[in-house]
Amino acid sequence: MSKKILVLGATGNVGRPLVQALLRKGEQVKATVQERRRSDLISRTIQTV
């Protein structure tokens, strides 16, 4: 069963690789981004909030 995980700062130096690793494990990811324009740097399969 996958977990729902919220990642704060998902486009940052730590957040971006963290999101990628969580997605590889099959987790459901929601992410906050400081700058909406940078949200394209992370996977389209997550929900940005």
With 0-12 / 13-18 / 19 or more C-beta atoms within 10 angstroms meaning exposed / middle / buried, residue 44 is exposed
Q: Are 29 and 46 in contact (CB under 8 A)?
A: yes
The label of the residue with tokens 């971006």 reads 16
pLDDT (tens digit, 9 = 90+) per residue, 1-41? 667 899 998 888 898 899 889 989 989 888 887 766 665 65
Phi/psi of residue 12, nearest 5 degrees: -80, 180
pTM of the model: 0.71
CA–CA dist 36, 34 (Å, integer): 6
DSSP secondary structure, 19-42, as one string? HHHHHHTT-EEEE--SSGGGGGGS
Position 11 scores a pLDDT of 83
Domain residue ranges of the chain, discontinuous segments joined by +: 4-48
